[in-house]
Copies of this chain bind each other. A is one copy, B any other.
Amino acid sequence: MDEELDPAVERMLDRIRASRGRVTHVRKVLVQALVSAEGHETADSLVGIVQASVPSANRSTIYRNLDELEQMGLVVHAHLGHGPASYHLAPAAHTHLVCRSCRTEIEMPREWFAELAERAWSRYHFRVEPFHFAVLGRCESCASSPVKSDQLSSDPSRAVRIQGTSEAP
């Protein structure tokens, strides 16, 4: 995994260079990992992925790089529960509905926040950016069953992901 030349990766590396950042080995692999990540990786899973290519890579380096990528606007992190944060590419930013019991994640169309955002703007001149936190609740199957305690603190890898379709009736 070195000369893959994924165009999305190249674009991000260019943005790094444009910010006077250096294109290091770790950074290349991390960016590649973010680009090819299907879902929402935690810092920890990214450490694992990067270390598969660069065994010496250190957790703190990953955290520092994620911070920088986020400050450059390339990456965004979100809190989907009580556990670690999830990182994904900024262009893929979307809001999540997360079930408090079974931790199913549903990607919600961003338009659904439009009305709320409009009101927040007209009443408070507050610009809503609804990507950082999930919207919690209960999914169909868990809503009917008796209230169990929240599962949000446990292993993120157990989460089920549901892809949201775009707007519809």
Contact = CB atoms under 8 A, between A and B. Distances in A.
Contacts of A125: 139-140, 143
Contact of A136 (B115, B132, B143): B132
Interface residues on A, range: 35 or more
Interface of A: 71, 79, 97, 99-100, 106, 108, 112-113, 115-116, 119-120, 123-140, 143, 149, 162, 168
Contacts of A97: 120, 124, 126, 128
Most B CB atoms within 10 A — which of A100, A113, A120? A120
Nearest to A129: B137
Contact of A133 (B112, B115, B124, B135): B135
A75 to B, nearest CB: 13
